[in-house]
Amino acid sequence: MNIHDAIAIIVGMQKDGVIERYAIGGAIGAAFYIEPAETQDVEVFFTFATTVPDGLIDLSPIYR
């Protein structure tokens, strides 16, 4: 999987309502501010689109 495939999956998860917002970190995120370097990974930080009153989060939508 390349970075474009990974971003497409993340965008799809956002459109499907699985995640709410996301940010790209690590070397990929830093490439917008510093000289690019080759990397084979991507760090993704996100918030879930749903909240629950008891504080427990159901992770099953990620795997669907």
pLDDT at 22: 92
pLDDT at 29: 79
Residue 42 token pair: 């991507």
What domain range is 9 assigned to? 3-63
Query: CA neighbours within 13 Å on the CB side: how many for 31?
Result: 13
Overall number of domains in the chain? 1
Other C-beta atoms lying within 10 Å of the C-beta of residue 24: 18
Q: What is the value of pTM for the model shown?
A: 0.67
Give the model confidence (pLDDT) of 6-59 as tens digits: 989 999 999 998 888 999 888 877 877 888 777 778 888 888 777 677 777 777
